[in-house]
Amino acid sequence: MAENEFDPLLGKIIRIDTEHHKLPVFGKLIAVSDQFLTIERADGRITIIRRKAVLAADPVKNQIARID
């Protein structure tokens, strides 16, 4: 698979703003595919987000967190 804009964020704790929610989603980016991003939330839940719905994805300043 060709490198894409989310590959540098893989394995980092990120903030994702989506077009369908007012509040951002925080979690560790654990997988990137052609259509979806998979993040692991702080409580261990896995969330799959459609790439088309992502407005912005940025790493958080403090990468030290409860997610390992």
Q: Tell whether 68 is covered by a domain.
A: no
Tell me: the pLDDT tens digits for 18-27? 998 999 999 9
What six digits make up the tokens of 34?
């052609």
Mean pLDDT, range 30-58, rounded to an integer: 95
Q: How many domains does the chain have?
A: 1
Structural domain span for residue 23? 7-59
pLDDT the model gives residue 14: 96
| pLDDT above 60: residue 1 | no
pLDDT the model gives residue 63: 75
Q: Read off the amino acid at residue 15.
A: R
Q: Tell whether 2 is covered by a domain.
A: no
CATH number assigned to the domain comprising residue 22: 2.30.30.100
pLDDT the model gives residue 61: 86
Q: Tell whether 47 is covered by a domain.
A: yes
Q: Tell whether 67 is covered by a domain.
A: no
Q: Tell whether 27 is covered by a domain.
A: yes
pLDDT the model gives residue 66: 54
With cut-offs at 50, 70 and 90, classify the pLDDT of residue 65: low
What six digits make up the tokens of 10?
């893989």
Q: Tell whether 23 is covered by a domain.
A: yes
Q: Tell whether 1 is covered by a domain.
A: no
Q: Is 11 left (phi over 0), alpha (psi -120 to 50) or beta?
A: left
